[in-house]
């Protein structure tokens, strides 16, 4: 039996403060203009504390992206088993709910030109998940699954960017339903 190490709540709170400070700064100015001093002052921690958890601001950005994508997978997986109907709309709704719940992060990542790293990782994440769904789909269509996955991932990320940049003007359920209809209308996923 493997026993997982116990997380120290102080460490968790410190990392949350550092991440929050970084996101606030990231939404205010270019990554190149952000310093570790800025982050430590905003988080109200010592510079050394930031370096204890992250090698530099690029490592902090990378780990922040990684953490949110992993949480998104976990959140969607948990909601998939709850919904259980297997339709695309039920798969899309938890994604929009997660984006809404973590608006500050996604707004900072998608609201300006410095988002190429995040956008590329989000596209790869969505594309991989779509390919897996397409692989299980019966019957197979005459459109190449790789092309379908890239099309859907690009469309999805574009719609999410628009939704986030416009301060989420529609409810999550509306967004999931509309995107599902767009995909169904374009024979990406037939009506389920």
Q: pLDDT tens for residues 119-133?
A: 888 888 888 888 888
Q: Residue 29, preceding bond cis, omega within 30 degrees?
A: no
pLDDT in tens, 84-103: 555 556 677 888 888 899 98
Q: Which CATH fold would you assign to the domain 57-185? A: Tetracycline Repressor; domain 2 (1.10.357)
Task: Give me the residue spans of the domains in the chain.
Answer: 7-54, 57-185
Q: Which CATH number fits domain 7-54: 3.30.530.20, 3.30.470.20, 1.10.10.60, 3.90.110.10?
A: 1.10.10.60
End-to-end CA distance of the chain: 43
10-19, 52-61, 81-90, 179-188: segment of lowest average pLDDT: 81-90
- The model's pTM: 0.71
Residue 192 has pLDDT above 60, yes or no: no
Residue that is written with structure tokens 């990684």 in the block: 66
């Amino acid at each position: 039996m493997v026993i997982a190490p116990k997380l120290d709540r102080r460490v968790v709170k410190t990392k949350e403060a550092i991440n929050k400070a970084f996101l606030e700064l990231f939404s205010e100015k270019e990554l190149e203009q952000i310093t570790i001093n800025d982050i430590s002052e905003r988080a109200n921690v010592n510079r050394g504390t930031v370096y204890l958890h992250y090698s530099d601001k690029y490592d902090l950005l990378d780990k922040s992206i990684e953490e949110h994508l992993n949480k998104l997978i976990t959140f969607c997986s948990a909601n998939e088993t709850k919904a259980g109907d297997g339709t695309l709309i039920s798969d899309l709704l938890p994604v929009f709910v997660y984006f809404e719940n973590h608006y500050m992060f996604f707004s900072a990542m998608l609201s300006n030109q410095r988002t190429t790293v995040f956008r590329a990782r989000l596209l790869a994440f969505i594309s991989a998940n779509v390919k897996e769904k397409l692989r299980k789909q019966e019957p197979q269509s005459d459109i190449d699954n790789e092309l379908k996955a890239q099309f859907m991932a690009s469309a999805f990320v574009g719609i999410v960017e628009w939704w986030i940049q416009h301060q989420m003007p529609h409810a999550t359920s509306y967004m999931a339903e509309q995107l599902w209809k767009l995909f169904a209308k374009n024979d990406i996923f037939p009506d389920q």
